[in-house]
Each structure stands twice: as structure tokens, then as C-alpha cells.
Homo-oligomer: A and B are copies of this chain.
């Protein structure tokens, strides 16, 4: 992408080293972080820029992965110190994840600075970072057409007020089942989604992992099951990939209509499934658009 060009999609979040252990394999310091998955996924569909921070130890091979995927790196800061390192373990059924360590390193002082060329981008993804930082990003943007916000338990527990303020400023809040219940105090996911809409966003996206997802608005609900995966190699980043596939597709189609949201949910689903087929972004970064479209068509044929 041309340096001066404004991306269609801006992704703000973590870029990390992930050390992941599954029942079958263990890998050290893979390319990870929410913004990595989301940006590589979104770049399949639209011009995408990433805003994040890495340390001096971030290797050229990982920079190259972004470049080959077509992700613009103007917003990727390099700071003195080490890159954020997350280490985790999946237990037998791949649904239980245990975190071994979270070394924030340079990510602890992350101050997202949005490059000039990014400020008029129409589609914005605010990954799971401190709500105060998410708000600071929103302050730097010139009224994006559609903003997606992610969050996590930590912010629900520790900075609820800031989180509620930023939730009120976005178009779509994306959370998993557990976070939806935790945030709203509702056991029923449908009721949780309704309560999220009361907090301000036009859409609540509830991700249910292997059971798919649903997108609720005030008077509508769109449902998408998961792609049937015979083997999950590593589910890390599947939810972030989902957000990237969704936002990238909306940016490509150029408008947030009901029909386009359906298409975006299908692309998000199959893109997330590719992520689960390998560690890190190893499968995601190799798929062609033709492969993706073929799987999306196959998926639609599985549905009524």
C-alpha cells in the first residue's frame, strides 16, 4: 500500500509473541496478538493498517509476514525493550485455555498514535486494550463510519466506567459468551446481547466458539453457525480473526447493510476456521482469496 494512502480498515491492538502448548504440540514465540490476527484477516478483503507496538526483538520475518499479507505498518511502533509475550496452554478438548504468563513488556506503556493517513479511515477495529486507550484512539479518528470494539474480563473488572464510556461510542461490541455474561450479569446470551444494545452500540456480536455467533440489533438478529472443523490445531486468535474477516468484508462491500452483514459473518466464520487449522497466522497468511471464496460458498450450501 502506498504510504500516503488511507487504509479502509485500521486495527489497533496487541502484537505479541505467543508461546502455545496444545495436547499435540508446543511452539515458542510465534507471531501473535489480537491486532496481528485481525489485520491479516481484514487484509484479505480490504486495505488494512495496523497500530501497535513491538520491542527491539521483533524479528524481520514477522515484519515480512505483515508485509506479504498487505498490512500497512506505518502505525506499528518499535520501542526500546522486549515485545509483549503471552504463553498459554490448551487442555484436552481445546476449549479450556490456561495462561501461563503475560509479560506485557513494551505493551505496558502502549500509547496508540494514529498516523495522519489513518485518521480518515472508515472502518476501525479497537481490539482488547485498556478502555482509556481505546477512547484516545477514537479521539484521534475523524468519525469512522463503523467501529468495532473488543474487550476482556480484566477491563470489565477494573475499569468498568471507562469501558462503559467507550462502549457507548462504538457501533459494534464483540465479546465471547463468557464476557457477555460477565459484562451484563445476564445468563441468557440473548438477554445479554439486548443489554449490550442498551449500553449504546447498534450491534452486539456474541461469539460462541465452536457453536458459531450471533449479531443482534434492536429489532433483528443474524445467526451464523461455525464452520465444521474436524481438527482444531490451535484456536488462538480465532475471535480476532473473526473480527478482521467481518470488518474487512464490510469495508470491501462499502456499506453496512443487512445483506452485507450476512456476507461478512460468513467470511468471518470461514476466515476464523482457517486460523484454527494451524498455529499463529500460519494458515491464514497463506490462503488465497479464491480458497476463501470457495469455502464461503461451501459453507453457505451447508445452511438452509
Contacts and interface: CB of A to CB of B under 8 A. Distances in A.
A187 B223 contact: no
A224 B187 contact: no
A235 to B, nearest CB: 13
A265 interface: yes
How many copies the complex holds: the figure is 2
Interface in A202-228: 208, 211-212, 214, 221-225, 228
Interface stretch (A45-53, A116-124, A296-304): A296-304
A73 interface: no
B228 A225 contact: no
20 contacts: A92-B187, A188-B231, A190-B229, A191-B230, A211-B211, A211-B212, A212-B212, A212-B225, A214-B228, A221-B228, A221-B302, A222-B302, A222-B304, A223-B228, A223-B303, A224-B225, A224-B303, A262-B304, A263-B304, A303-B304
A158 interface: no
Classify chain A: how many residues form its interface, as a range.
Answer: 20 to 34
A231 B228 CA distance: 28
A93 interface: yes
A266 interface: yes
List 6 A-B pairs, minimum CB-CB distance, nearest first.
A211-B211, A262-B304, A223-B225, A266-B304, A223-B302, A225-B225
Nearest to A258: B301
Nearest to A213: B225
A260 to B, nearest CB: 11
Contacts of A214: 225, 228
A231 B222 CA distance: 18
Interface of A: 92-93, 187-188, 190-191, 208, 211-212, 214, 221-225, 228-231, 262-263, 265-266, 300, 302-304
Contacts of A208: 211
B265 A190 contact: no
Contacts of A93: 187
A92 B228 CA distance: 30
A295 to B, nearest CB: 13
B304 A265 contact: yes
A224 B224 CA distance: 9
A304 B224 CA distance: 7
Contacts of A300: 304
A92 B187 CA distance: 9
